[in-house]
Amino acid sequence: MTALRERPLAGHVQLTGRSAIGGRFIEGPTLPAHAFHSLNPGTGENIEPTFHPATDEQVDSACLAAWDAFGDFSGTAPSRRARLLETIATEVRDIGELLVSTVMAETGLGEERIVAERDRTMDTLRQLADAVRDGRWMEPIIDRGEPNRRPPKADIRRMLQPMGPAAVFGASNFPLAYSVAGGDTASALAVGCPVIFKGHPSHPATSELVARAVMAAVEGCGLPAGTFSYLVAGGPREQAVGSLLVRNPCVRAVGFTGSISGGVALSKLAADRLDPIPVYAEMGSVNPVVMLPGAIEKHSEAATQQLAASITESCGQQCTRPGMIFLHASYAADKFLADLANRMEAAGPGTMLSVRLRRNLVGRIERAEAARGVEMIASWDPKLRAERPGPVRAYPVLMRTPAAVFREHIALREEFFGPVAVAVVCASTTDMLRALAMVQGSLTGTIWAEPGDEADTRRVHTMMEQRVGRLIYNGVPTGVRVAPAMVHGGPYPATNRPESSAQGPTAIRRWCRPVCFQETPDHLLPPALQAGNPLKIERLVNGKASREPTPTK
């Protein structure tokens, strides 16, 4: 095969439809019974080429290649890993228009959203590159020895070290930001963990394009070829590829973004290994919003406009989409909800990522509307819900229900993955707090409040903070800022690891464990801990932040 660098990525790329292991796409015979296509949900037609899922042997080869690469890759200078991340960002950008049009065809997402997502993916890669160079995020801590004390105190030096090869599973709804070169891949590579990426079957062409970009960057930076492998998964082998990966002894940690059932199944597989490994799964989030009366009075127009856009954007297929709105019963609340319903209906139908997601959504809506006491104030005509060939469309839905009904029916409290929200009308603050107490763990919670709402605000805040990873005032939860203080995570089932974040430099912790070096000869220490501080990074030395060298023993 020709070297990757010689193949122009932009323009007319011939996709192979195959997995790539250790820098090379698989060649040779394929099994027609396993082949699959991706669907253009905007037209309902199959997209070329045919894709061929990885075989058992190929999964194993990718894991072995990652294992073989681990020693060298984890030992690279931080500056080289930073350059790798920046090169990936450049290579992804350089795919150009072809990437945008491929994502559009495979996902039905709009051009503006895709360009924004691509830029945000590049921003994440670059911020992680900065974090790797900065060095503080590797948490170097040095407690110097006191050899003359009785008993003597040992010199101990600790920092985060990479766990080993990481298996990363792509999400369907963020085909760039949470896929091949997304946050999990970037944070794992940042710390020196080789990545074996399992592509999502709904966007295999997109995945192959980005996998080529990552491989070109690995090759361009002169890193071991096993640093990154890409496995095609889909058709009858979607689950097989994933479970083989999680059980492979070379894999030391797993990142997953997807459904609750998928995340829970992978976590159990990992826990049942002879040597259990961590799985970081981001799963389902309902993202409650509380609209307090003063805020409705002051911000009705802005809030309905922002909420309608946030609920319907990308056809509601965003993990931070607001899914529940809690309000006190009042004339103003009635008007607020009527306005919101109008705006959501005005947004019109959107394109869903897949027939499967649409089918699940229709089933969820029908179970919810069957509950007595649920009123559909923005509705998706049941005649339009039937599955037909052609575009995969979904219409916005806003349901309205008293808090008592909400508390009774689990069908109203689980996530609707689509442009759907449930408005919960509460008779009192107690009624609202009881309803909020039944909201499951979420990535975000939002409170719209004004000074006049103070009495409710603190109680709602306290209740909400227990249930979310990020609490927002007077805004919408979509549009996650990429910055160190961001938390993209939350209590179960938003994630299975609420102590972790999928965004920001602290995301690198998921791929690391701390290692302490006691009385270790200087030349055997990682550079970040050496006496001379050759990386010139900030370290915590005897409790004080310092960029100074420590005296040699």
**In the complex with a copy of itself, which residue's Cβ is closer, 7 or 273?**
273
Instruction: For residues 305 and 11, give the distance between their C-alpha atoms in angstroms, rounded to a whole number.
Output: 39
Distance CA 448, CA 310 (A): 15
- Look up residue 18 and give its DSSP letter: S
Does residue 410 bind a copy of itself (CB under 8 A)? no
* Choices 1-9, 88-96, 154-162, 288-296 (CB under 8 A): range interacting with a copy of itself: 154-162
Judged by CB under 8 A, does residue 470 bind a copy of itself? yes
Q: Is 163 in the site for a copy of itself (CB under 8 A)?
A: yes
Give the Cα separation of 321 and 137 in Å (integer): 30
Mapped to the 3 state alphabet, what secondary structure does 25-62 carry? ECCCCCCHHHCEEEEECCCCEEEEEEECCCCHHHHHHH
How far is the C-alpha of 380 from the C-alpha of 393, rounded, in Å?
11
Q: Which range, of 185-193, 400-408, 419-427, 493-501, touches a copy of itself by CB under 8 A?
A: 493-501
143, 297, 375, 408: which one binds a copy of itself (CB under 8 A): 143
Angle in degrees, CA 195, 200, 201, rounded to 5:
140
Residues 274-293 that bind a copy of itself (CB under 8 A): 275-276, 278
Instruction: Give yes or no for a contact between 87 and 129, defined as CB atoms under 8 angstroms apart.
Output: no
553 binds a copy of itself (CB under 8 A): no
Q: How far is the CB of 523 from a copy of itself (least distance, A)?
A: 9
Q: Does 471 bind a copy of itself (CB under 8 A)?
A: yes
- List binders of a copy of itself among 120-139 (CB under 8 A): 139
Pick the binder of a copy of itself from 5, 7, 153, 547 (CB under 8 A).
153
Burial 392-421, CB ≥16 within 10 A → b, else e: bbbbbbbbbbbbbbbbbbebbbbbbbbbbb
- Given 63, 319, 426, 512, the catalytic residue: 319
Distances (CA, A) of 243 to 233, 246, 271: 11, 5, 12
Contact indicator for 392, 43 with CB cutoff of 8 Å: no
Is there binding between residue 484 and a copy of itself (CB under 8 A)? yes
Q: Which stretch binds a copy of itself (CB under 8 A): 254-262, 269-277, 342-350, 398-406?
A: 269-277
Mask of contacts with a copy of itself, 426-445, x by CB under 8 A?
Answer: ---------------x----
**Site for a copy of itself contains 517 (CB under 8 A):** yes
> Please, what is the minimum distance in Å from the beta carbon of residue 483 to a copy of itself?
4
User: Which of 10, 373, 518, 553 touches a copy of itself (CB under 8 A)?
Assistant: 518
The answer to the question of residue 475 lying near a copy of itself (CB under 8 A) is yes
Q: Does 507 bind a copy of itself (CB under 8 A)?
A: no
Q: Which of 19, 58, 87, 161 binds a copy of itself (CB under 8 A)?
A: 161
Q: For the CB of residue 5, give the shortest distance to a copy of itself in the complex, in Å.
A: 31
Residue 77 or 427: which CB sits closer to a copy of itself?
A: 77
Task: State which amino acid sits at residue 510.
Answer: R
Q: What share of the chain is helix, strand, coil (3-state, %, to 5)?
A: 45, 20, 35
Please tell me the count of residues contacting a copy of itself according to CB under 8 A.
70
Cβ density class 470-490: b for 16+ within 10 Å, e for less:
bebeebbbbebebeeebbbbb
By beta-carbon proximity to a copy of itself, the closer residue of 390 and 514 is: 514
Q: Report how many helices (DSSP H) and strands (DSSP E) the chain contains, helices first.
A: 15, 23
Which residue, chain included where needed, has tokens 């009042």? 330
Among 359, 452, 540, 546, which residue interacts with a copy of itself (rule: CB under 8 A)? 540
Short-list 377, 295, 289, CA closest to 330: 295
Q: Least distance (Å) from a copy of itself to the CB of residue 237? A: 27
Residue 69 engages a copy of itself in binding (rule: CB under 8 A) = no
Tell me whether residue 319 is one of the annotated catalytic residues. Answer: yes
**Catalytic annotation, pick one of 91, 238, 282, 369:** 282
User: 31, 48, 71, 239: which one contacts a copy of itself (CB under 8 A)?
Assistant: 71
SS (H, E, C) 393-435: EECCEEEEEEHHHHHHCHHHHCCCCCCEEEEEEECCHHHHHHH
Cβ-based neighbour number of residue 70 at 10 Å: 22
CA torsion angle 439 443 448 454 (round to 10): 70
Q: Which is nearer to a copy of itself, 56 or 272 (CB)?
A: 272
Cβ closer to a copy of itself: 355 or 492? 492
Rg (CA), the chain: 25
Of 206-265, binders to a copy of itself (CB under 8 A) are: none
- Other CB atoms within a 10 A radius of the CB of residue 332 amount to 15
Closer to a copy of itself at the Cβ: 324 or 392?
324
Find residue 324's DSSP bridge partners: 288, 422
524 contacts a copy of itself (rule: CB under 8 A): yes
Residue 201 vs 293, nearer CB to a copy of itself = 293
CA distance linking residue 326 with residue 285, whole number of Å = 16
Residue 93 amino acid letter: R
* Shortest distance (Å) from residue 106 CB to a copy of itself: 27
For residue 217, the minimal CB distance to a copy of itself (Å) is 25
Active site residues: 282, 319
Residues at the interface with a copy of itself (CB under 8 A): 71, 139, 141-143, 151, 153-154, 156-158, 161, 163-164, 267-268, 271, 275-276, 278, 441, 449, 457-458, 461-462, 465-466, 468-475, 479, 481, 483-487, 489, 491-493, 496-499, 501, 506, 509-510, 512-521, 524, 538, 540, 543, 545
